[in-house]
Amino acid sequence: MNRSRPVTVPEFVARKGADPLVVVTAADFTMARLMDGTGAVDALLVGDSLGTVVQGRSTTLAVTLDQMIYHTEMVVRATQKALVIADLPFGSYQESTEQAVRSAARILKETGCAAVKLEGGHHFAKTIAALVNCGIPVMGHVGLMPQSVHALGGYKVQRDEHRVLEDAQAVADAGAFSVVIECLPVELGRKVTEKVKVPTIGIGAGPHCDGQVLVGHDLLGLYDGHRPKFVRVYDDLKEHVRDAVRRYSADVRSRDFPSAEESFH
């Protein structure tokens, strides 16, 4: 779907129950420009998943607010069509609503993105409401919450139906314009989508969500680490990269590169 202007938050919300929303993560200028240039992506999420796929860490917990601002600003400069959303990283909003407002305001002011995303259910409803009251659009995130990996005992499917439904409803009632639901059984993903009035964006939550999100490095086959069950790899770009570097190396060693055409005379 080609567009001549960026997707807005109200347009994103209006897609509830319509054609599924397409969301993908990006963390740098080049990747964002390639993805946005397809015209097929509704939103680019600058996720704190960059802590694992870009920084090489085992969790997302070490990602800082300054790092999120750094990466989001690059993505915004590359993007003309998609809605750009930035994660609030661990430790940047949990302390108080005042801290959350300061952190989210910094992200919007210093990057130009349109919205922020934060993890947490009913315990963070007041935080979401405070941000929304300040004019900051918020995407929620319930189910498996990677910033709570230690409290949850690892990256596991979340089967507590009562808790997940309560969290999703609280987030939506607080004013979130959308909610990511992660690692849920298919039927629970459907129930959440039917219960809340805002779009649900699934990641490992089945096909009944209003949209889907994948980490860009995962769907392109660029990440060499653990591949979650819910990831579909659409190309194995890491092998293309390795092959290109091997061929470049061979040409350098055989003095086939640079050729006369690639040299100045």
Instruction: Write down the pLDDT at residue 2.
Output: 44
Nearest to 195 by CA among 183, 179, 217: 179
pTM above 0.75, yes or no: yes
Three-state SS at 25: strand
Instruction: Write down the pLDDT at residue 3.
Output: 52
10 Å Cβ neighbour count for 229? 7
Instruction: Write down the pLDDT at residue 1.
Output: 44
Instruction: Write down the pLDDT at residue 88.
Output: 98
Q: Can you list the domains of the chain with their CATH numbers?
A: 9-234 (3.20.20.60), 237-265 (no CATH)
What CA–CA distance (Å, rounded) separates 15 from 182? Answer: 20
CB 197 within 8 A of CB 186: no
Whether 182 is a known active-site residue: answer yes
- From first CA to last CA, the distance across the chain in angstroms is 47
What CA–CA distance (Å, rounded) separates 61 from 198? Answer: 28
Instruction: Write down the pLDDT at residue 12.
Output: 98
- The 10s digit of each residue's pLDDT in 209-247 is 999 999 999 999 999 888 899 999 999 999 999 999 999
Instruction: Write down the pLDDT at residue 134.
Output: 98
95, 161, 182, 261: the catalytic one is 182
Q: Which residues contact 46 (CB under 8 A, 6 or more apart)?
A: 25, 26, 27, 68, 71, 72, 75, 84, 85, 86, 87, 113
What parts of the chain have a pLDDT lower than 50? 1-2
